[in-house]
Amino acid sequence: MSTMPRRSEEPAYKRIQGAIRRRIDTGQLKPGNMVPSERELARIHQVSLMTARHALTELARDGVVERRHGAGTFVAPPRVQFNKLLGYSEQMASLGLTAHSRIVASTVISREPEIAARLGLAPTARIVRLERVRLAQNEPVALEVGYWSEDEFPDLLQSTLDGRSLFSALEQDCGVSLAYADEEIDATDADQRMADLLRVGKNTPLLRIRQLIFSTTGKAIVYVTGFYRSGRHTLRIRRLR
């Protein structure tokens, strides 16, 4: 007589993680709030101290909490996921955060052959350069520099200066349908100016993402270089076979 195999119970550390995640998801614990200590979790869930420690260690590895030496464990700020071509405002909205931008500089430049070549323009083409600090909940997250043809999109700068999303202005005002971006991703260190704008220390590691954004016709429209506070971002890539 055969018997059905018994389903193994969920590991105790997973139950602890689930309880903490539910409190975060429901807003009982917010970014910056302290999470119960290992000793408290062991008492509440009637597990060993080692099991409670394992639960918090995995949550910290996944970026859900931050462990601060001598202070405790705290809910980590949400992290931006780069797995879809979204404007910054759309990325923040998907996380339930309010996005803001602060204009650092805007100008029209020429004789930038490398930028022009990326955009498929003549070496001396007039190119708009827009530099912005991107914020979430009033915290600086990234320094972005965007470039596009001044001749092709003469009114785009004004739209972005008025607070419009760059993607939104391109699609709604300029009639451009954006399709995809080719990206180059690496790491760099913050120079003094970047550090001041992002409120980090000089030489702090930054995630650098260079995007060449194309329309549905395959034409290069905008080139963007972003310098992101790496502790606020996770790169997630889906690979299909």
pLDDT one-digit tens code per residue, 147-165: 999 999 998 888 777 667 7
Residue-level pLDDT at 184: 87
Report the C-alpha gap between 140 and 51 in whole angstroms: 36
Q: Where in the chain is the domain with CATH 1.10.10.10?
A: 12-75
pLDDT of residue 173 exceeding 70: yes
Q: Where in the chain is the domain with CATH 3.40.1410.10?
A: 80-234
At the top level of CATH, the class of 80-234 is alpha beta
Which is more confidently placed, 217 or 119? 119
Residue-level pLDDT at 60: 87
Contacts of 234 (CB under 8 A, 6+ apart): 63, 79, 80, 81, 82
Report the C-alpha gap between 109 and 153 in whole angstroms: 14
What fold, for 12-75? Arc Repressor Mutant, subunit A (1.10.10)
Residue-level pLDDT at 236: 53
pLDDT of residue 8 exceeding 90: no
Residue-level pLDDT at 182: 86
Closest CA to 231 of 80, 87, 55, 56: 80
Residue-level pLDDT at 224: 92
Q: What is the pTM of this model?
A: 0.60
Residue-level pLDDT at 160: 77
Between strands 72-75 and 65-68, the pairing is: antiparallel
| Cβ pair 206, 241 in contact under 8 A | no
pLDDT one-digit tens code per residue, 42-101: 999 999 999 999 999 988 887 788 888 888 999 887 665 544 444 545 454 444 545 678
Q: Summarize the confidence of residues 214-228 as an average pLDDT.
A: 91
Given CA atoms 178, 152, 141, 61 in this order, what sign does their dihedral have? positive
pLDDT of residue 233 exceeding 80: no
238: confidence class by pLDDT, cuts 50, 70, 90? very low
pLDDT of residue 231 exceeding 70: no
